[in-house]
Amino acid sequence: MAAAATFDAVIIGAGHNGLAAAVHLAKCGWSVGVFEAKGEAGGAVKTREVTLPGFRHDLAAMNLSMFAGSPFLREHGEGLSRHGLAFAPAAHCFASAFPDKSWFGVSKDPALTMARLNALDPGDAEAWDAMMQRFGKDAPHIFGLLGNVMPSWATAKLIWTAWRANGSAWTLDMLRFLTMPTRTWAAAHFRNDKVKATLAAWGMHLDFPPDVSGGALFPYLESMTNQAFGMVVGQGGADTMIKALSGYLGELGGEVHLNAPVTEVIHSAGSASGIRLADGRTITARRAVIANVTPRLLFGKLLPGGSGNPAADEKFKAFRPGPGTMMVHLALDGLPDWSAGKELQDFAYVHIAPDFAYMNRAYGQAMDGLLPEAPVLVVGQPTTLDPSRAPEGKHILWVQVRVLPKHVKGDAAGEIGGRHWSTIREAYADRVVSIIEQYAPGTRDKILARAVFSPDDLEEENPCLVGGDNLSGSHHLDQNFLFRPVAGYSRYKMPMGRLYMCGAATWPGAGTGAGSGYLLGRMLGGA
């Protein structure tokens, strides 16, 4: 550590939002120290050789499209590029495979998507074209909302401007849309069940099965942005983002301290003044302590005596995690031979979520504490975009299993008898591989090695992933927008002077867009 143990801002946690806040504040002239409990920065954005040497797997987050299109990157991209930030683009973004050996997918080339839609239902092709036209009108206002503090005068001005530009009918329709379940939205636009299921699968990336209010926004945005702009992953791994953030922060004079777990936020007279590390050292913060952690960690551990506002503390402690996930990383001798067609090998993501009933059943079983009989699978194929992640001719699969219970009460299929993830992890991963095998026969024989991260393993890797929740908190309407993480505290300021929170548990939520870190950095350091 540098001789001085005093910084303008002390940041707890070296996830990408914490690093984004640190970069912005350092660019504004603040002295910044970031303290990370683990021996590696990145939080949920890490890349490692977890199966075999030469096979680089993104442990959790893979898709960097939100970061590539973020306001943070527009402002700081030049500096990040100097430190190696690079993306691998996808011409073919996402697809769903179906049990009848058919598929539907969205490619960056609209002509390809439209041809597939016309083959399924010409009316749906017309609806898709109309939706793309509407997206051009909607996008500036939606992304403006996601890019502003909630609530704020800027947000109010944005809504007023949108109303002036588009009228009351459009404004009311948009407000209604933000509360809409995916099924309702999809049925209002499309007739073909395969098209509707393909779009609805994006809701399951968060915690939105088809019939939960508020679920339509993410499928709409992902579908339309992938069609309009494509998708990117990190060149060489998602950690290209973390390496670039850390390197640029160092260039700006900021410091990242690894293997430096924080045990307490130091405060007096109702104001945070620094942190205490596990080794007993204290670090002073002249202007701000920023906790890039979940409410459960901040209010359940780092503020042992509370914030001084017991009512607010209880609300933060009640912040609800989303359901758990599992990651299955496969080193392969070749890409899966999808029964639906070889074209699926070209897609960044292949979803196995064939219909609404399948998604609802998997979600319902998990929420009841059961291992889903057939979970939703997000099968990432990063080496089809970036061959550098595996030895020549070899491949990796990134398989996210959605969704799972943290505490297992039983198995919906009646096949797995254990109740603890340490003893059932591999058996459930076998089920995952068997599902992939149903859609891509022969995949099991191509597996050279695998690494499985259960919900417990994910939490051990990153304590912010409570119960394996990769969202840092449910995104249902009661915990979203101005209610994220808690009503009255959505502007990152905590119920204690000079104490702030950023990260996926805060607005605008999960993803790799660095939204909360950037917004907080601008709030404290200036635009």
Per-residue confidence at 527, pLDDT binned at 50, 70, 90?
confident
Beta bridge partners of 497: 271
Query: How would you class 336 by CB atoms within 10 Å of its CB: exposed for 0-12, middle for 13-18, buried for 19 or more?
Result: buried
Q: Within a 13 Å sphere around the CA of 418, how many CA atoms are in the beta-carbon half?
A: 9
Classify residue 428 as left (phi > 0), alpha (psi -120 to 50) or beta: alpha
CA–CA gap between residue 441 and residue 416 (Å, rounded)? 23
Query: How much is the mean pLDDT over the chain?
Result: 97
Total Cβ atoms within 10 A of residue 87: 18
Write out pLDDT tens, residues 132-177: 999 999 999 999 999 999 999 999 999 999 999 999 999 999 999 9
Mean pLDDT value across residues 494-523: 98
Amino acid at residue number 68: A
Amino acid at residue number 77: G
Residue 30 has pLDDT above 50, yes or no: yes
Residue 515 has pLDDT above 80, yes or no: yes
pLDDT of residue 3: 41
Mean pLDDT value across residues 506-518: 97
Give the DSSP H or E segment for 102: none
Contacts of 195 (CB under 8 A, 6+ apart): 104, 117, 120, 121, 124, 186
The token pair that represents 423 in the structure block: 């003893």
Write out pLDDT tens, residues 257-304: 999 999 999 999 999 999 999 999 999 999 999 999 999 999 999 999
Contacts of 172 (CB under 8 A, 6+ apart): none
pLDDT of residue 1: 44
Residue 426 has pLDDT above 60, yes or no: yes
Beta bridge partners of 35: 12, 257
CA–CA gap between residue 362 and residue 413 (Å, rounded)? 11
CA–CA gap between residue 207 and residue 203 (Å, rounded)? 7
Give the pairing type, strands 376-380 and 395-404. antiparallel
> For the chain, which residues make up each domain, given as ranges?
6-46+59-86+237-320+473-525, 103-232, 321-461
Classify residue 346 as left (phi > 0), alpha (psi -120 to 50) or beta: alpha
Write out pLDDT tens, residues 339-382: 999 999 999 999 999 999 999 999 999 999 999 999 999 999 99
The vertex-366 CA angle with 454 and 17, nearest 5°, equals 55
Beta bridge partners of 234: 87
Query: How would you class 154 by CB atoms within 10 Å of its CB: exposed for 0-12, middle for 13-18, buried for 19 or more?
Result: middle
Query: How would you class 132 by CB atoms within 10 Å of its CB: exposed for 0-12, middle for 13-18, buried for 19 or more?
Result: middle
pLDDT of residue 157: 94
pLDDT of residue 526: 85
Residue 2 has pLDDT above 60, yes or no: no
CA 64, chain centre distance (Å): 9
**What SS3 class is residue 223?**
helix
Domain 6-46+59-86+237-320+473-525 has CATH 3.50.50.60: yes
Q: What share of the chain is helix, strand, coil (3-state, %, to 5)?
A: 45, 20, 35
Beta bridge partners of 420: none
Please give the biggest Cα pair distance in the chain. Answer: 68
Give the pairing type, strands 499-501 and 282-291. parallel
pTM above 0.95, yes or no: yes
CA–CA gap between residue 285 and residue 515 (Å, rounded)? 23
Ordered DSSP codes for 359-388: HHHHHHHHHTTEEPSS-EEEEE-GGGT-GG
- Using alpha carbons, select from 66, 148, 64, 15 the residue that is nearest to residue 507: 148
Residue 241 has pLDDT above 60, yes or no: yes
- Using alpha carbons, select from 248, 252, 181, 257 the residue that is nearest to residue 14: 257
**Contact predicate 332/447, CB 8 Å:** yes
Per-residue confidence at 68, pLDDT binned at 50, 70, 90?
very high
Amino acid at residue number 319: F
**What SS3 class is residue 66?**
helix
pLDDT of residue 213: 98
Is the alpha carbon torsion for 244, 249, 251, 256 positive or negative? negative
Tell me phi and psi for residue 28, to 5 degrees: -85, 0
Amino acid at residue number 55: F
Tell me phi and psi for residue 426, to 5 degrees: -70, -35
Mean pLDDT value across residues 244-264: 98
The token pair that represents 66 in the structure block: 């939100």
301-323 core/surface letters (b: 16 or more CB in 10 A; e: else): ebbeeebeeeebbebbeebebbb
Residue 390 has pLDDT above 70, yes or no: yes
